[in-house]
């Protein structure tokens, strides 16, 4: 192994060791899972399910709902639509849960005329959806920016959440490490940015080639859902909300008083959200458990859809 690679490997090993010293922390190395999954494997989330509109007190929110069991509400990330969830990941969750996925405001048919995109706005929208759908003791899963939304929801309306899962999530304010500006630019949809550029930041280098081949095939794509273009207003608003989250020390302080069972999921090879954010969240939240996944990138549910769904299922049900 050459010196740069040896240094990188050592850095990852030391970081994992440091994180593993946190109370309620463990590290997993999952086996490779096949991508480009055939449709029959995901039939449970497509058959007979159509996009619905929840008329919440804050405005309309578009969603899909499938499965039976305890409710699992999934909150997606920066410039993401419902389609950004991995279909196999959802199909595994549906085996034991009533799963709900939805578009954030300003995306698709969710509040199409929205002009404000703060984390507070989106947390309040999520609370309104929980109320409208009468979800009781829901496990709320937030990925990427969705993790910030779920943290704010836990601060503002903890009674709306049974348990929460923070996946590839930023810690707020002084406790977190911001996402690199050049990396966020790759996700911004600006002219000149290619699909391969996006795959290169969502996945670690060894997984990029497979992602380029299979990502679109593995997405959640119901036949009646028209994956929308993300407007400039939504992009700019969400970008500003993430920037504000990076300096939100009030949220960081408030999390210390959030007594909700929490699973923090972090990948060792996440190029967008440094794993130190997961350590910070685990220290801030009194009832947090950290699961560090080796070789996982930011979009870890595409690399290990079944393993991560089972980890979330086990956490939600026990």
Q: What is the 3-state secondary structure (H, E, C) of 206-227?
A: HHHHHHHHHHHHHECCCCCCCC
Residue 49 falls within a domain, yes or no? yes
pLDDT tens, position by position, 102-137: 999 999 999 999 999 999 999 999 999 999 999 999
Q: Which of 16, 33, 18 is nearest to 292 (CA)?
A: 16
Question: Which CATH number goes with the domain that contains 261?
Answer: 3.40.50.1820
Q: Mean of the per-residue pLDDT values for the chain?
A: 93
pLDDT tens, position by position, 232-264: 999 999 999 999 999 999 999 999 999 999 999
End-to-end CA distance of the chain: 43
Q: Does the pLDDT at position 182 exceed 80?
A: yes
Alpha carbon 296 to chain centroid distance?
Answer: 13
Residue 12 falls within a domain, yes or no? no
Residue 281 falls within a domain, yes or no? yes
For residues 122 and 149, the answer to whether their CB atoms sit within 8 Å is yes
Q: Does the pLDDT at position 142 exceed 90?
A: yes
pLDDT tens, position by position, 53-76: 999 999 999 999 999 999 999 999
Confidence class for position 14, pLDDT limits 50, 70, 90: very low
Please identify which residue in the block is written with the tokens 């095939």. Answer: 217
Please name every residue paired with 27 in a beta bridge, in sequence order, or none if there are none: 292
Question: CA 72, CA 77: separation in Å to the nearest integer?
Answer: 16
Q: Which of 119, 127, 116, 120 is nearest to 61 (CA)?
A: 127
Do strands 52-56 and 70-75 pair parallel, antiparallel, or not at all (unpaired)? unpaired
Q: Taking the alpha carbons of 245, 247, 250, 254 in that order, is the dihedral positive or negative?
A: positive
Residue 284 falls within a domain, yes or no? yes
pLDDT tens, position by position, 288-301: 999 999 999 999 99
How many structural domains comprise the chain? 1
pTM as predicted: 0.92
Secondary structure (3-state) at 308: helix
Domain span including residue 230: 22-317
Residue 7 falls within a domain, yes or no? no
Residue 17 falls within a domain, yes or no? no
Residue 194 falls within a domain, yes or no? yes
Residue 6 falls within a domain, yes or no? no
Q: pLDDT value at position 226? A: 86
The first and second tokens of residue 168, run together, are 């590839």
């Amino acid at each position: 192994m050459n010196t740069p690679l040896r240094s990188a490997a050592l850095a990852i090993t030391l970081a994992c060791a440091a994180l593993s010293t946190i109370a309620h922390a463990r590290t997993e190395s999952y086996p490779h899972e096949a991508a480009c999954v055939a449709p029959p494997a995901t039939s449970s989330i497509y058959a007979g399910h159509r996009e619905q509109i929840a008329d919440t007190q804050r405005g309309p929110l578009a969603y899909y709902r499938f499965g039976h069991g305890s409710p699992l509400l999934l909150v997606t990330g920066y410039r993401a639509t419902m389609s950004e969830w991995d279909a196999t990941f959802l199909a595994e969750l549906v085996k034991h849960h009533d799963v709900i996925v939805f578009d954030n405001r300003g995306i698709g048919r969710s509040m199409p005329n929205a002009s404000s995109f703060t984390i507070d706005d989106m947390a309040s929208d999520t609370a309104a959806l929980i109320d409208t759908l009468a979800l009781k003791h829901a496990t709320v899963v937030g990925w990427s920016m969705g993790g910030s939304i779920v943290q704010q929801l836990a601060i503002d309306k903890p009674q709306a959440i049974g348990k929460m899962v923070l996946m590839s999530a930023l810690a707020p304010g002084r406790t977190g490490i911001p996402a690199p500006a050049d990396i966020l630019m790759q996700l911004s949809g600006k002219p000149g940015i290619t699909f391969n550029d996006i795959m290169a930041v969502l996945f670690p280098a060894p997984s990029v080639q497979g992602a380029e081949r299979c990502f679109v095939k593995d997405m959640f794509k119901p036949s009646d859902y028209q994956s929308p273009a993300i407007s400039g207003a939504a992009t700019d608003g969400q970008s500003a909300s993430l920037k504000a989250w990076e300096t939100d020390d009030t949220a960081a302080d408030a999390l210390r008083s959030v007594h909700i069972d929490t699973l923090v999921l972090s990948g060792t090879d996440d190029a967008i959200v440094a794993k130190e954010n997961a350590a910070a969240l685990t220290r801030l939240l009194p009832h947090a458990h950290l699961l560090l996944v080796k070789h996982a990138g930011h979009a870890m549910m595409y690399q290990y859809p079944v393993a991560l769904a089972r980890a979330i299922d086990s956490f939600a049900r026990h």
